[in-house]
Structure 1
Amino acid sequence: MTPELITKIIRGRVADGTYGRGTVLPAEKRLAAEFGVSHWGLRQALQPLKDTGILHAICGMGNLVLDPSATYSAAREAREITKIIRERLADDTYAVGTWLPGTRVLAAEFDVSQATVQAALRPLKQEKLLAALDAQGTYVIDPHHRCAPPPAAPSHHAAIGKVIRERLRSGVYPPDSPLPTYAELESEFGAGHSTISSALQLLREEGLVSRRQRNKRIYATVSASDPDG
């Protein structure tokens, strides 16, 4: 039995209450025997359920079933993010041979958990559109040609700057409006003050934001609405 089919069966048992909210799944050894797969094969089947929040592994206890009503929302969010990233790959927003923004940055952009982002990226990796490099991140590849990893992953502040730049140019932060405070940006991106400051400094050098001394806030400039600015 394939891991995909096992995933579907277990998801169905959660949905129909066979494995109810707050209960622990049977031991992995027992489930592996039931489905006729190895322990590794079973873990492959359980991973998508963990990524989308259906299951949560607790050391010494097993795999706990969380709120089923919330899990389908996470699964839908993951599918939608997959669709958006696929579109960005197609139009070269994320070009072959470049690094994808980190999962933390993407999670902040889409307002989801990092686990949901990881679930969204998995099918694109399976399709050989993305490849992961341990400790560095995920980069874009061509499924028909071998592609070497980019020289280095972007720094965290550069990735944050890219997200804010896109918001400025799309009008999320309209010209002459204040950006979120440093504290709000630190909380959103899970970054320290110096990282946020470095990200905003990049945008100031590009003329996309400016600092107003009277209230110490960062504002979008008029030129930020110009896609060629």
Structure 2
Amino acid sequence: MLDHGSSTPVYAQLAALLRAQIKSGELAPGQAIPSEPEMVRQYGIARTTARRAIGALKDEQLVYTLPGEGTFVGSSPEAAPREPANLPPYRRVAADLVERIRAGRWQPERPLPSEQHLMQEYGVAKETVRRAVALLREQGWVYTVARRGSYVSPVDHWPAEG
């Protein structure tokens, strides 16, 4: 994988690895590359190292970033629009939380795990968790009590199955 003892900087090694995956087609145009938190977990690197690797690929116009959604293969959204199946991270988190609510993992009127717990579990930033919870609040799955947290809404407040 990555050789932390090499004379080649780790970010350059990671960029080379991702570049090879793009050129081989393993990462296709429009496909999301791993997020910074995913790279941190997978390769045991600092977030700034992941960011530098992504920056190198952006400089080569191999990837582009859509704020709040991710980094995708291609020189721009017009040249390589992202795949429709690639939901923004906050929507992926929200969809998973809904499935857990439906499955009864969290009962109505009981609290969701803390932001910190969800950030660690999903490997995402605080803003991503907040956007996911805000979406669930808009849809009626949860409600938030100031300085107390977010709770699963009573079943009669859940959106109708569609």
Provide TM-score, normalisation by structure 1: 0.35
Larger gyration radius, structure 1 or structure 2: 1
More helix by share: 1
Larger RCO: Structure 1 or Structure 2 (Cα < 8 Å, ≥ 6 residues apart)? 2
